[in-house]
Chains A and B, each alone.
Chain A
Amino acid sequence: MILVPITYRGGVYRHSEIIDLIEDLGGYIVQKHMIAQEVVIQCFVPKDDVKLIRAIGKPLAGEVTDSPLVGTEIAVVSMSLEIHHLPHPSCDIAEYVRRLGAKSNMVGMARGVGKRIAGLNDEERDVINEHDIAVYLLGNFETCIEHKMPVLLRGIEVPVVLCGGPDKDVLERIVEPKVDGYVGNVGRFMHRTKESEELSKLDEIIAEITRVLSKRREELAKDPLSVSPARLMDVIREQVPAILDVTSPTPLTVQMSGLRVKLPYDTYADVLRKTEIEDGITIGDIAAIEPSRMRDYIIVRVRPFSETNMVI
């Protein structure tokens, strides 16, 4: 069964029918937002059943759209958290990827600015590496980008999409080591993105992120994960009731090959390890439970089939 990420947007009235339908079809709900009279459900559903959900949702004024970024956690890396880089463009981009279903986190570097003085510390590196993809937002000068990128990419293991002021081909030429995606003509600016030309640039960033993530999905498909992170999320939600008391908007953040559990590591790591998924197989058997560098959260990294020799 191939699961595809979609977003359902409709009225609050009878939306529980849609939730039941998704669950009955074997899908997983990643996030549910209730905004006034509207409900937005981001979920994974079987590919063949998208038509059915669309048909059943139609009388309820429901709309189903493809959301390739659902179930991904994206790090939007800003060179600093000063007025120079915030709120534009960092927040605009972080907000835009969120609209398309991704969970985005802003990583503001302590010393990301400048040419000679730019640096990346171990905490920033580890936090970025906990995401599925990192979007680097750089400045307008190719000299600076060329000079500082080797330092800022040191130790980064996740795919990187780089946005900068120079043209795309210039970025491709000057950046060493090479990264997975480039978006040119999006450097530092001090106004809100509202012109159509600027919005199309945001779409270009999304297209590049989607392209890089699809490539990563293809790689993952060659050696499939022992369990789908979305399924793991359901298991934890059912068997670890403490997660229901967490007030964070996404207590369980689904990633492409893992899960961020927003519970304290010291208290709940063992509980998670011993949680049974099916037939006596516990989460500890098929996933690594590690402390996250983000607060005292837990990061669950699902092992591939080649390591565990099982897929459930």
Chain B
Amino acid sequence: MQAIEYFEVECTEKLGGEYYRQIANDVLLDHNLLRVIHKMHIYIDPKVPIFVAVGVLKKVTTLVRVGDIANVNPQEGKMTLAISDETWLAPMLKIFWDRFGKDHVEQPDRFTVILYGVTAGAREIEEIAIADPSQALYKDLIYALKCTCPEGFRVRSENYGAEKFSFVASEDTLTDAGMALIKEKFAFMGETP
């Protein structure tokens, strides 16, 4: 857990807490989330029962632009893009179709896209934003927390915004006392919700 500045699992059962620390570590590692979490505090009380996870995220990486995944080679009357990473190919094509029209976009093979009769310069094409990875991050994070928390805890409250997140889950209806724990646990990390 070196990438995380603060990581604590607090539990009323000592051994259970140690196991959940391992589970949280495995899940975050599997979902590749360790690099985006700055601080995290998990609190579990199986007697109540309640599971609280609060945390702070790192500054999320910037937008993905055409220049990040392709080499743009201007030629006479056309522009050839050599794709190096297919991950964002589909959203990129969609943006090209909307912007230039399907007649001007051709994909002869997996790693090549050719734009015909485009007025924009190579630099301008490279700067087109094609995806925002931070949008998927919230979904991934909540999914990871769902995997971490005990499965029977199906009444959940999830909150995310301004690089901070909170997740409360229980078997029973969530009470005000349970929700108040969010503030308390943020305070452990020296943060406010």
Contact = CB atoms under 8 A, between A and B. Distances in A.
Answer yes or no: are A and B bound together in one complex. Answer: yes
Interface in A97-118: 113-118
A194 to B, nearest CB: 13
A189 interface: yes
Interface in A189-221: 189-191
A144 B150 contact: yes
Contacts of B152: 113-115, 117-118, 144
Contacts of A82: 151
Contacts of B27: 190
B26 A191 contact: yes
A188 B150 CA distance: 9
Contacts of B15: 140, 165-167
Contacts of A166: 13, 15-16
Nearest to B45: A143
Contacts of B172: 116
A114 B30 CA distance: 24
Nearest to B147: A83
Q: Main SS of chain A's interface residues?
A: loop
B13 A143 contact: yes
Contacts of B118: none
Nearest to A80: B151
Contact of A84 (B44, B46, B49, B151): B151
Contact of A139 (B26, B47, B150): B150
A187 interface: yes
A204 B153 CA distance: 30
Given A190-B26, A191-B26, A115 B16 contact: no
A189 B26 contact: yes
Interface string A68-112: 000000000001101111000000000000000000000000000
Interface stretch (B17-25, B82-90, B107-115, B123-131): B17-25
A165 B22 contact: no
A85 B19 contact: no
Interface residues of B, number: 22
A84 B147 CA distance: 6
Contacts of B147: 83-84, 190
Contacts of A49: none
Interface string B1-39: 000000000000101100110110011001000000000
A142 interface: yes
A13 interface: no
Contacts of B153: 114
A68 to B, nearest CB: 30
Nearest to A167: B15
A172 to B, nearest CB: 15
Given A118-B152, A187-B19, A189-B26, 11 more contacts: A79-B151, A84-B151, A113-B151, A114-B150, A115-B49, A141-B13, A141-B44, A144-B150, A166-B13, A188-B19, A190-B30
28 contacts: A84-B147, A84-B150, A84-B151, A113-B152, A114-B151, A114-B152, A114-B153, A115-B46, A115-B152, A116-B172, A117-B152, A139-B150, A140-B19, A141-B16, A141-B44, A141-B150, A143-B47, A143-B49, A144-B46, A144-B150, A166-B16, A187-B19, A188-B19, A188-B23, A189-B22, A189-B26, A190-B22, A191-B22
Interface of A: 79-80, 82-85, 113-118, 139-144, 165-167, 187-191
